[in-house]
Amino acid sequence: MVLRRCRFIVVCDATTDPNYSFESLAMSIRQIRVDLGVPIDISEMKVGVPSQNLKSKHCAVGRIRYSYVDKTKGGDDEDYDGVLIFIKPSLIGREPRDVINYWQGRASFPQEAITDQWFSESQFESYRALGSYIIEAICGTRDTNDPLTLADFAQKAHEHNLLNFDAFREQLGLLALEHEFRGEIQRSPINSYQEKVREFMNRILS
């Protein structure tokens, strides 16, 4: 696809990778750069080991640097470069309850060995449900049945990788936060309180 200069590529990584080292992705990026001279940049990889902390993501967004090879004088990189959407099975804590339950009983899920071709019904359904949920999580809720364009899907993937304030609010617990702040206001001078709030916000947004 890179040789043909495809501008939009979606990669679904189904290799067995229990440590989420992304060896297959790294090998592909390396080989494309060596053979074709085209670098692929993925600035941030938020896909990680399954957990329920709401911090990981289901996909990563990369840039295919065709401009390194094809750019002519006066052109912009954006006129040449493409988009890579990398999707890998993982859990972040919002998946259907039955999927989380299956993962809790099978620590290797969803990175079980692909040599096992005899899936049980619960195993097959857990993978199917997880895959369906991941795409829904990336695309978000929609008011229309019209199919997404490639540009729309790329934008949805970018948004999925941004800070999720809804998840942040749930994880933090607004009532507990409000109670703590009210108590701190009463105990501390206003300047000290403002400084602590500033340090707190810098820490969670860094």
The pLDDT tens digits of the residues spanning 70-128 come to 988 777 888 899 999 999 999 988 899 999 999 999 889 999 887 777 888 999 999 99
Instruction: Indicate the average pLDDT of the chain.
Output: 84
pLDDT average, residue stretch 3-9: 94
**Nearest alpha-carbon partner for 126 in 104, 144, 143, 158:** 104
Answer whether 0.75 is exceeded by the pTM. Answer: no
Cβ burial, residue 160 (10 Å; 0-12/13-18/19+): buried
pLDDT average, residue stretch 56-61: 90
Angle at Cα 71 formed by Cα 65 and Cα 77, nearest 5°? Answer: 55
Q: Which structure tokens are listed for 152?
A: 């729309």
Judged against a pLDDT cut of 70, whether residue 40 lies above it is answered with: yes
Judged against a pLDDT cut of 60, whether residue 174 lies above it is answered with: no
Task: Identify the band that residue 179 occupies on the pLDDT scale cut at 50, 70 and 90.
Answer: low
Task: For 17-86, give the secondary structure using H, E and C.
Answer: CCCCCCHHHHHHHHHHHHHHCCCEECCCCCCCCCCCCCCCCCEEEEEECCHHHHCCCCCCHHHCCEEEEE
DSSP track, 132-148: HHHHHHHH---S--SPP
Task: Identify the band that residue 1 occupies on the pLDDT scale cut at 50, 70 and 90.
Answer: very high
pLDDT average, residue stretch 14-35: 94
pLDDT at 197: 73
